Structure 1
Amino acid sequence: MNAKELKSILQALQEHEVSELTLETPDYKLTIKRGGEVQYVAAPAPVVIQPPAVAPAAQPVSHAPVATPAPTPAAAPAATPAPKVETPKEDTSKYVEVKAPIVGTFYRAPSPDAEPFVKEGDTVKKGQVLCIIEAMKLMNEIESEVSGVVRKILVANGEPIEYGQVLFLIEPA
């Protein structure tokens, strides 16, 4: 959910004097209560519990002179990451990008046990269904904008997607 969507939800709540709203998707749960309380929980994020820090043991107090230790050399600088090797990217300018028209969850097939709508290398016609995006429990079929060959599928099945994210690259026929 981006800031623009959240702002429009908050405006609608204020206009309609809604006192509490809970919005739950596979990716997150958002609860808003009038009076300023906002709770956002990302669903797949694991909970990490840190053990409490242990205080160092108390040192006995001695009145004898204590020799000051020699200064330790500065810590070696952290290892620098290996330089990135630029892999030549395939020229995608000849492909038509099929972008997500909404935020949701990407599905390649109509059901978990069904064959995917399309595979890389398949020939598609304009208007043919390429995938489904689930948004707020509604299944939205995404159709091909052109006839051609599916060259790349850029999203994994069941993956959350953002508005405008490129889903497919199609080489026009």
Structure 2
Amino acid sequence: MDIDQIEKLVELMKDSDLSSMEIEEETFRIRLAREKEIIAVHGGGGASAPAPLPSPATSAPAAAGGASAPEPEEKGIVYVKSPMVGTFYRAPSPDSPPFAEEGGKVKADSVVCIIEAMKVMNEIQSEVSGKIVEILVENGEPVEFGQALMKVKEG
């Protein structure tokens, strides 16, 4: 792969709003990644195939298809929500420990889980520092856009 091809991949990432991309061929492997904004609403409110991410928003609609009503407002609680439709994973691989545990502490921008969409593993980060109060989704479970994944008590 030459520098022109790499530059085209970088442009594709920018144009598609991708956060990471990984390509592997017989003689080489390349992984490109950049920071992204994760949706978390205060008070209830790598792979080879690119997948566009939805535009960041300050609030997200309640998930459809079997999801419960919007979460009630709780003082000091932040809901980490899914920024896309996909499959929820608590760890980077089946043999690895989970990114976050109930009762565990997280920092702002800590990776707390992965959402796999179209074979792209998207790292989901906490927007706030605090304590994981509850993990609302089971490992390997499908999630919808805007679905609450975790409750984090700020502090």
The Cα shift of 1:113 comes to: 1.1
Residue 122 of structure 2 is aligned to residue 140 of structure 1: yes
The Cα shift of 1:93 comes to: 3.9
Residue 92 of structure 2 is aligned to residue 110 of structure 1: yes
Structure 1: give runs of 5+ residues left out of the alignment: 1-89
Residue type at the aligned position of 2:126: S
Cα separation, 2, equivalents of 1:144 and 1:154: 14
TM-score (norm 1): 0.47
The alignment-based identity, stated in percent, is 58
Alignment partner for residue 143 of structure 2, among 152, 158, 161?
161
CA-to-partner distance for each residue in 1:7-62, whole Å, 9 max, x for gaps? xxxxxxxxxxxxxxxxxxxxxxxxxxxxxxxxxxxxxxxxxxxxxxxxxxxxxxxx
Cα separation, 2, equivalents of 1:104 and 1:95: 24
Count of residue pairs the alignment pairs up: 85
Residue type at the aligned position of 1:98: V
Residue 81 of structure 2 is aligned to residue 99 of structure 1: yes
Structure with bigger gyration radius: 1
Q: RMSD of the TM alignment (CA)? A: 1.7
Alignment of structure 1 residues 111-126 onto 2, 5 Å: 111-126=93-108
Structure 2: give runs of 5+ residues left out of the alignment: 1-71
Residue type at the aligned position of 2:129: S
Cα separation, 2, equivalents of 1:156 and 1:139: 17
Residue type at the aligned position of 2:117: A
The Cα shift of 1:161 comes to: 0.2
The Cα shift of 1:141 comes to: 0.1
Cα separation, 2, equivalents of 1:139 and 1:97: 21
Q: Which has the higher contact order (CA 8 A, sep 6+)?
A: 2
TM-score (norm 2): 0.52
Cα separation, 1, equivalents of 2:104 and 2:120: 27
Provide runs of 4+ in structure 1 moved above 4 Å.
none
CA-to-partner distance for each residue in 1:139-170, whole Å, 9 max, x for gaps? 00000100000001000000000000000000
Residue type at the aligned position of 2:133: R
